[in-house]
Amino acid sequence: MESKKRTDVNELGEFGLIDRLTATHECSHPSTLMGVGDDAAILDYGGQPIIVTTDMLLEGIHFDLMYTPLKHLGYKAVVTNLSDICAMNGLPRQITVSIALSNRFSVEAIEEIYEGIYTACRNYNVDMVGGDTNSSKKGLVISITALGSADAGKITYRKGAKPGDILCVTGDLGAAYLGLQILEREKQIWQSNPGVQPDLEDQTYLIGRQLKPEARTDMVTLFDQSGFIPTSMIDISDGLASEVKHLCKHSGTGALIEEAKVPLKDESQLMALKFKLDPITCALSGGEDYELLFTADEKDLPTIRTLPGIHIIGEMRPQEEGIKLQTVNGRFHDIVAQGWQH
Amino acid sequence: MESKKRTDVNELGEFGLIDRLTATHECSHPSTLMGVGDDAAILDYGGQPIIVTTDMLLEGIHFDLMYTPLKHLGYKAVVTNLSDICAMNGLPRQITVSIALSNRFSVEAIEEIYEGIYTACRNYNVDMVGGDTNSSKKGLVISITALGSADAGKITYRKGAKPGDILCVTGDLGAAYLGLQILEREKQIWQSNPGVQPDLEDQTYLIGRQLKPEARTDMVTLFDQSGFIPTSMIDISDGLASEVKHLCKHSGTGALIEEAKVPLKDESQLMALKFKLDPITCALSGGEDYELLFTADEKDLPTIRTLPGIHIIGEMRPQEEGIKLQTVNGRFHDIVAQGWQH
């Protein structure tokens, strides 16, 4: 089955592999406006632009059923896709859902997953329009494709930022990662001593951010209502550090982030310290915060200041200045990030 | 993780499970013209209708890497989706591809899969516009979503047939199933005696139908050029018997198929006999022939007769007459079918 030369996938890493696999394919259909290379593809079928994105979640890789309720899993599987539609400044309309599961899952268990999927559909006004249900030899796989739209002039890409643009993020960062740390800790305690009840320390916010994230369709609507269009935007679920690099790479800029301005909730700060983790590292590289990172032209600063839930964390700089973090004590560090390693 | 009541998935079967899972969800977005319940969903974003379909293929369930070359696998994974677009009388334009594979696959092996995917893209003028590459704990999973379009008045559903309509099928049937029998036989011989070279008996047609099927975009184009629109249509990859039942159920009709008119190639006939299989059963229930089953208004009979590669196999009847096969010796049998069991 295999060719003679054998390169291990780990040698390339995820982004290296994707680059290598997509290098040989060029989009040529006139209806393809944007193919691989952003949070979602953009198609033109003559009406409103179509935004398409897809994501696959695998048991044991992306989620652990030991602490993930099936209903939450279904909900989150939808949200992760909707978040990519939001990142193009669009709103989701439809999803398709393909699921494969082994016979250890009962019909009732599958129904719980779909209950989560349908709850997300209701909350976000999205229709489930198709899919596929399969047996798997082992484990659970969920593959979702989401479709959405935006007015033609409002689609926002990763490219488009320029030096001087304001760099902003919605919501707060690091909480989903810290929620995961709590769940993993309790799993390990439980595995070595199944009699012990899990101690979730009433950390409903942190755990909720991990198990039941939301997509920021509210932000897309808010932007629309205020007549604001970001110059560039990206979903930040792989971590702020790696995503600011994507914005810079696609836009041909550098960036400066001020550590003091990176939004962390008090409970995230405290929990990070409890786990002896650097809070800013959790915020920069933790991942799974389904928030939006975007840039705005300086002229939009007054508008941005009126919008709730948005944090100005820095600005875009000329490419040659690199991508830097200015720490609270005034030092400058290069931002290094690999994204979130599952 | 599980609810108290435990129903085994096998109690319901695939279609029963899908019915139960989709019963609680109603599409409500104004842009959804057709949700679950046909070969593909139909969306209206203000331009040409959008046709969307998705399919997931799993190693050990849908394919066996012992005799499936990776390049062919990639090709077939695309074709199975394109065939569903064709079944709506549309032509495909874009696909997204999500893949999960364990570390037993090298980068070169993954590239072979993509070579097959891209070959299909070139052959069918389709762009690969997005996707996802993941690790799996075990085995290979490919999930593809295809998007396409057709002029608004030309979309063909499963519903729409009426008594008196001509029932037609493209191409020939049974060959893919017999190709699979040869491959399975040689696999078993090889497993018990690895020194023996496989004897594929120069059955390149049968094996090709199994390993490298094609989607009938040519037929959709032909219909379009002749100004013909089927009254109903369905992809026949789950087997003629189960698919004629779908057409009848959605259209509220019965059907009569004449055994003598079901298209089987000589090599399929001969190979069926060699395997001591009934050729007509292979044609009716073998599955994996990516052909189109469609109905035509009587007035279109002259047009149909001029089109190459189409076989008139019977006609639609009133619902109360049931779904029957008229054998070569003039007897009538109910058509029973479960579709193709992987």
A218 contacts: CB under 8 Å, gap ≥ 6: none
Work out the mean pLDDT of chain B and round it to a whole number: 92
Q: Does the CB of B105 have a partner CB in chain A at under 8 Å?
A: yes
Give yes or no for A329 touching B (CB within 8 A).
Answer: no
Give the whole-angstrom CA distance, residue A282 versus residue A267. Answer: 12
A246 and chain B in contact, CB less than 8 A: no
Write the residue in B8, B60, B94 that is nearest to A32 by C-beta: B94
Residues of chain B found within 8 Å of residue A140, distances taken between Cβ atoms? none
Instruction: Determine the pLDDT at residue A4.
Output: 65
Residue type present at position A124: Y
Decide if A140 touches B, using CB distance below 8 A. Answer: no
Identify the structural domains of chain A with CATH numbers, from first to last.
9-154 (3.30.1330.10), 166-334 (3.90.650.10)
Q: What's the DSSP call for residue A59?
A: B
Band the pLDDT of B4: cuts 50, 70, 90.
low
Q: Which of B310, B79, B77, B273 is nearest to B172 (CA)?
A: B310
pTM of the model: 0.94
A-B interface: how many C-beta pairs under 8 angstroms? 296
Residue A23's pLDDT is what?
A: 84
ipTM for this model = 0.93
Residues 26-45 of A with CB under 8 A from B: 27-29, 31-32, 34-36, 40-41, 43-45
CA nearest A109 in B: which residue? Answer: B2
Mean pLDDT (whole number) for B151-177: 96
Report the mean per-residue pLDDT for chain A.
92
Task: Decide if A41 and B65 are in contact by the 8 Å CB cutoff.
Answer: no
| Nearest CB neighbour to B46, from listed A48, A70, A96 | A48
Question: Do B27 and A127 make contact, defined as CB atoms within 8 angstroms?
Answer: yes
Q: What's the pLDDT at A337?
A: 60
Put simply, the chain A residues between 204 and 243 with a CB less than 8 A from any chain B CB are: none
Interface check for B309 against chain A (CB to CB < 8 A): the answer is no
Contact B218, B200 (CB under 8 A): no
B contacts of A147 (beta carbons < 8 Å): 43, 50, 52
Asked whether B192 and B266 are in contact (CB, 8 A), the reply is no
Question: Strand, helix or coil at A313?
Answer: strand
Is B81 at the interface with chain A, CB within 8 A? no
Q: In Å, how far from its chain's centre is CA B234? A: 8
pLDDT in tens, A112-170: 999 999 999 999 999 999 998 888 888 899 999 999 999 889 999 999 999 999 999 99
For residues A326 and A259, the answer to whether their CB atoms sit within 8 Å is yes
Cβ–Cβ contact A312 with B under 8 A: no
Q: What is the pLDDT of residues B94-133, one digit of tens each?
A: 999 999 999 889 999 999 999 999 999 999 999 999 998 8
Rounded CA-CA distance B203/B194 in Å is: 21
Give how far B4 is from chain A: nearest CA, Å.
8
Name residues whose C-beta falls within 8 Å of residue B104's C-beta, 6 or more positions apart in sequence: none
Low pLDDT (below 50) residues in chain A: 1-3, 339-342
Q: Is A126 on the interface with B (CB under 8 A)?
A: yes
Q: What is the pLDDT of residue A120?
A: 97
Helix (H) / strand (E) containing B255 = strand B253-258
